[in-house]
Every structure is written in structure tokens, then in C-alpha cells.
Copies of this chain bind each other. A is one copy, B any other.
Amino acid sequence: MLVLAGGVGAARFLRGLVQVVEPADLVVVVNTGDDLRWHGLYVAPDLDTIMYWLAGLADEERGWGIRGDTFATQGAFARLGLETWFQLGDQDLATHVYRTERLAAGVSLDRVTDDLAARLHVRARLLPMSNEPVTTRLRTDRGDSHFQEYFVRDRCQPAVHEIYWTGLEAARPAPGIAEAIASARAIVIAPSNPIISIGPILRVPGMRELLAPARGRCVAVSPLIAGRAVKGPTVELMRAQGLEASALGVAELYRDLASAFILDAADVGLGPATSGLGYRVATMPTLLDDRQAAQAVAATALNLVQTEMAA
């Protein structure tokens, strides 16, 4: 099975998925549009979130970083008078230092990601969407920002006029993605932000062409429940893109790529319209606040695709 994933929403879903799928059979293609250089260190927020959750190290309450981590280096950055709005825990820092050193030594991001995941005993295979840097940027009423500046530093306060990406022209799907898509029994678009988590993955040149033939095996899980995001600026950014901020709006985005769609029970009223887009639809609780809920959604996603394939 292959999952297209952003950060914490996808991580919660994957926590359930590994209860119903053998982790060694799981490939996760992760957004790197949020990646940034922070004091020179290469930080990959979504890759790290997924890796820490699957390694059992995540601070699941906070959503990011490592459980029980401390912030002494942050304090020392502050003493040096340096920016500290992007928080890096002391344990977390080891990941970034090692990744940065490996990248500087000429190792590709997919190889470093493999290496890090193996060192943390993660059995699923994690793949960055591309080895080439693709960066999500926003034009807001406070100027031009990296996504993390908008999201973390400015706490999603600025009005967003435009979302755009740099680096797309040189990017291609990371090695292994084509083969993993071709051989996956099922493909799941995780309940992640469709604009800034799944969006960058789908914008990598060649990615849609790899996914389109697998449409019959692909199921999407709505990240919106009753028009609201569990976490993060999904609604704001969908509106900034001129989209309807609802599960149906998400379903419209994925209709060329997925043949099944999971709606939250609260959105049962959107079922007929979603079916009308050509989806096989399931409706169930999708708030993945515990392992059981995540596991149930994961099992339903698999069933939907297997039903489709048997049809």
C-alpha cells in the first residue's frame, strides 16, 4: 500500500493504518514543500513528523517533535540573539544535524530519509516526494513568505492572496515512487491539507501521470469535517485558492486521481454530491483522535478499494 502524506493528519491516519497493514508493505510519499533551512540546518517537518510517529517517538499531544524533548539549544540561540520562532527540540536537532551533514556530503534526500528511518527502526518505507527542493510560498498582506513563516511565525494571521511553489520545473518524483505506485494494491490520499500538503506532491512534474492509471486503486480521506479542519489552515488556504472549503471541495480536487472517498459522518449530506463526482463513497467518523478511529478509517479505505477492484 502507498499513502500520500503531509504532516500530523497523515501521521494520525498512519498510526491506525499500521494496525491493519504490515508496515514493511507500506510506502509513504511525503510532502517536502514545507522544508526549510533553519540556521543552516535542513529541516523536513512532514518527513520528521511521519518518521517520529511511526518510530513511536512523537509527541502526539503537540503533534510535532519528539516526546519529552527539551529546548536548551533554543535558549542558547536566543542568548546569541538569533531567531527562535521555529522551535527545534534538542533531541530533534540530532536528526537535522545528521541529515544536513549527509546532504552536504552529496547523499540524496531519499537516501538520507531511508537511512534515518532505518536508524529509528521505522519499518515502513518513507519517500520524499522529490529529491529536488520544491518550496511552498505565499503572498500575503504582510508580504512574501515561506510557508513556515506564515504558519509558525505569523500563526496563519495574514490574509493569503496567492500560494505558489518554487523549484517545480527541476523536480521529479523521487526514485522508487513510480515503482511503488505501479505495484501498490491500494493508494490512499491521507487526510492532509489538500493545498499545502497533498498539493505539492501532486504538482511534482510527472506525479499525476504516475497516479492517474492507478485511479481505480486510489481512495482519498477527507481532511475536513463539517467544513472545518482538525488542525491547520486548510479552510483558509482552500479559500485563498478559490475553492469551496468542504469535503466536497476536496473531492473535486482529487476526482482524476481517486475512485473512492471517505467522508466524515457529519458530512453525510454531501454523500450524493460526492458520488455524483464518480466516487464510491463511505461515510464514518474520521476524527482520528485515537488508534481505533484511525484503524477503522484505514480498514474502510482498504475495503473500498478492494470492493472497487472486485467490481
Task: Compute how far the CA of A41 lies from the CA of B92 in the bound complex, rounded to whole angstroms.
Answer: 16
**What are 21 A-B pairs with beta-carbon distances under 8 A?**
A39-B97, A39-B101, A40-B98, A40-B105, A41-B97, A72-B72, A72-B91, A73-B73, A73-B93, A73-B94, A76-B93, A76-B94, A77-B97, A77-B98, A80-B94, A80-B116, A80-B120, A90-B93, A93-B93, A93-B97, A97-B97
The contact string, 1 if C-beta is below 8 Å from chain B, for chain A 67-88, is 0011011011101111000000
Q: Which residue of B lies closest to A68 (CB)?
A: B72
Given contacts A80-B116, A104-B40, A119-B80, contact A72 B75 (CB under 8 A): no
Given contacts A40-B97, A69-B72, A73-B97, contact A120 B90 (CB under 8 A): no
Please indicate the chain B residues that have their CB under 8 angstroms from the CB of A19 in the complex: none
Query: CB of A274 within 8 A of chain B?
Result: no
Query: CB of A95 within 8 A of chain B?
Result: yes
Copies of this protein in the complex: 2
Say what secondary structure dominates the interface of chain A: helix
* A76: contacting residue among B40, B72, B92, CB under 8 A: B92
Query: CB of A295 within 8 A of chain B?
Result: no
Task: Compute how far the CA of A92 lies from the CA of B75 in the bound complex, rounded to whole angstroms.
Answer: 11
Query: CB of A100 within 8 A of chain B?
Result: yes
Q: In which size bucket is the chain A interface?
A: 20 to 34
Please indicate the chain B residues that have their CB under 8 angstroms from the CB of A75 in the complex: 91
Q: Which residue of B lies closest to A78 (CB)?
A: B94
Q: Which residue of B lies closest to A93 (CB)?
A: B73
Given contacts A80-B116, A116-B80, A120-B80, contact A100 B40 (CB under 8 A): yes
Q: Chain A interface (Cβ within 8 Å of chain B)?
A: 39-41, 66, 69-70, 72-73, 75-77, 79-82, 89-95, 97-98, 100-101, 104-105, 116, 119-120
A41 to chain B, nearest CB (A): 6
Does the CB pair A120–B40 fall under 8 Å? no
Please indicate the chain B residues that have their CB under 8 angstroms from the CB of A82 in the complex: 94, 98
* A73: contacting residue among B79, B80, B90, CB under 8 A: B90
Q: Which residue of B lies closest to A66 (CB)?
A: B76
Please indicate the chain B residues that have their CB under 8 angstroms from the CB of A101 in the complex: 39-41
Task: Compute how far the CA of A257 lies from the CA of B70 in the bound complex, rounded to whole angstroms.
Answer: 49
A95 to chain B, nearest CB (A): 7
Task: Compute how far the CA of A83 lies from the CA of B22 in the bound complex, rounded to whole angstroms.
Answer: 32
A100 to chain B, nearest CB (A): 6
Please indicate the chain B residues that have their CB under 8 angstroms from the CB of A90 in the complex: 70, 72-73, 76, 90, 93
A107 to chain B, nearest CB (A): 12
Q: Which residue of B lies closest to A71 (CB)?
A: B90
Given contacts A70-B90, A73-B73, A90-B73, contact A80 B100 (CB under 8 A): no
